[in-house]
Amino acid sequence: MAVVGIGPGDAGSITPWASDVLAGAEVVFGYRTYLGLVGHLLAGKEVVPSGMREEVARAREAVARAAAGARVAVVSGGDPGVYGMAAPVLEAAAAAEVPATVVPGVTAATAAAALLGAPLGHDFAVVSLSDLLTPWSVIEKRLRAAVEADFVLVLYNPASSRRQDKWRRALVVIREGRPPETPVGIVWDAGREGERKVVCNLATAAEFPVDMRALVIIGNSQTYVANGAMITPRGYRW
């Protein structure tokens, strides 16, 4: 069986490897939205959709079908190893002693970064602001450590209808260690219909409504904006 990263959503970002694995699968599991993004590759296959917060059940059922002899693929948005389905599937597969392969995909972080310029040109840290599976105290501790270490910050799941306060609290933490002019890039629906972006700074970032479809990249002390693009220098001499 395989866990397949389908990238941010557009057909052009799905790798040939991912397409080949899906072509060879008999049964494809996944979150409904992600299955819809690759519907053109699933004709004639058994498709098993499920919803958010059903990841463990999805992984277990997929592994059970693979153990019974089916060629199974589990689709995951972006890269399956980055807040995706790779971990739960591999855990379930290990318990059942079923071989499993991870097929990488373009991450939301790199897709958004490309739209913004080159904000990830040097060391960066990725943090999810969702506290569904991680206590907010742990998230805040990680934010503070990343700010102190001067990492560029990539924020996944910055807010939802029930978590607008976490975005505001995260900005408070980050502003304690970064000046207000620090560049910030926000991308909504990277690689999908409705894609849009904005480049602002820490002083104005709160003015833009973020949600689960947004990804935020906050520069470090070296990040700057030139010709409309965020750039974090690697350190080359010019």
Distances (CA, A) of 193 to 1, 63, 112, 162: 30, 32, 14, 24
Cβ-contact 14, 6 below 8 angstroms: yes
User: Which residues partner with 196 through β-bridges?
Assistant: 188
Q: What is the pLDDT of residue 161?
A: 72
SS3 content of the chain, % helix, strand, coil (to 5): 35, 25, 40
**55-84 pLDDT, tens digit each:** 999 999 999 999 999 999 999 999 999 999
Q: What is the pLDDT of residue 11?
A: 87
Q: What is the pLDDT of residue 155?
A: 98
Rounded Cα distance between 127 and 177, Å, is 16
Token pair 């900005």: residue: 171
Q: What is the pLDDT of residue 23?
A: 97
Q: What is the pLDDT of residue 199?
A: 98
CA 82 to chain centre: 6
**4-39 pLDDT, tens digit each:** 999 998 888 999 999 999 999 999 999 999 999 999
First CA to last CA distance, the chain: 48
Q: Sorting pLDDT into bands at 50, 70 and 90, what band is 235? A: confident
Helix (H), strand (E) counts: the chain: 7, 13
Question: Which DSSP symbol is given to 123?
Answer: -
* Environment class of 151 (CB within 10 Å of its CB; exposed 0-12, middle 13-18, buried 19+): middle
Tokens of 234: 């690697």
Of the chain, the percentage scoring pLDDT greater than 70 comes to 100
**117-174 pLDDT, tens digit each:** 999 999 999 999 999 999 999 999 999 999 999 999 999 999 987 777 899 999 999 9
Rounded Cα distance between 79 and 84, Å, is 7
Domains (range + CATH), the chain: 2-103 (3.40.1010.10), 108-231 (3.30.950.10)
Cβ-contact 116, 217 below 8 angstroms: yes
**179-228 pLDDT, tens digit each:** 999 999 999 999 888 999 999 999 999 999 899 999 999 999 999 999 99
Cβ-contact 73, 63 below 8 angstroms: no
How confident is the model over 48-54, as a mean pLDDT? 93
HSE at residue 195, side-chain half, CA atoms within 13 A, is 13
Q: Sorting pLDDT into bands at 50, 70 and 90, what band is 52? A: confident
Rounded Cα distance between 228 and 223, Å, is 13
